[in-house]
Structure 1
Amino acid sequence: MNKKKRFFVSCADANHFCDKNQYKEATFWEKVKLNIHLIYCSVCRKYSTKNSKLTKLVKNPKVSTITPSDKEVMREKLKQKMSEK
């Protein structure tokens, strides 16, 4: 096998490795190949960055909801506005 082919991977492979790395399923060599690819490919670097942000948002969502009483107040106001027309 050519040394160049051993370390340089396509963008599709790099994205696949990035996804596997996100879920802690990538092997050591896949991580090495991914990092080498990220050195010279700005598109995959952006993909990797966005993938990391998405993972963090999913793991730790900062979602705030309204209380059921506030929701009911909003529903009543909406009904009043709709009945006015």
Structure 2
Amino acid sequence: MSNSTKKGIFVSCSDANHFCDKNQYKEATFWEKVKLNIHLLYCRACRKYSANNTKLTKLVKDPKVISINEYEKKAMKERLKQKMTE
């Protein structure tokens, strides 16, 4: 039986990370969120894991990727070819 199925509010880092992942995808229950937040109060490593998860979620939702058009891409390739042959 894992710590997450016990009645206590203190969970292991493994369970906290699992709850964090579930929370990222809006699948965590109310009690999993409560246990996660309590764990984050005293565990620096899991706070960092949670912060990285939050950053990752934001990047995936809004990647802010800027691509160049085909003309600029061809011009860049030509400049690279010229530089490589010098």
**TM-score, with structure 2 as normaliser:** 0.86
Distance in 2 (alpha carbons) for counterparts of 1:60 and 1:80: 36
**Does residue 75 of structure 2 align to residue 73 of structure 1?**
yes
Bigger radius of gyration: 1
CA RMSD of aligned residues (A): 1.5
**Size of the alignment, in residue pairs?**
81
Structure 1 moving runs of 4+ over 4 Å: none
For structure 2, which runs of at least 5 residues remain unmatched after alignment? Answer: 1-5
Aligned letter for 1:48?
Answer: S
Q: Percent identity?
A: 74
Q: Name whichever structure is richer in helix by fraction.
A: 1
Superposition deviation, residue 83 in structure 1: 2.7
Distance across 2 between alignment mates of 1:30 and 1:78:
53
TM-score using structure 1 length: 0.87
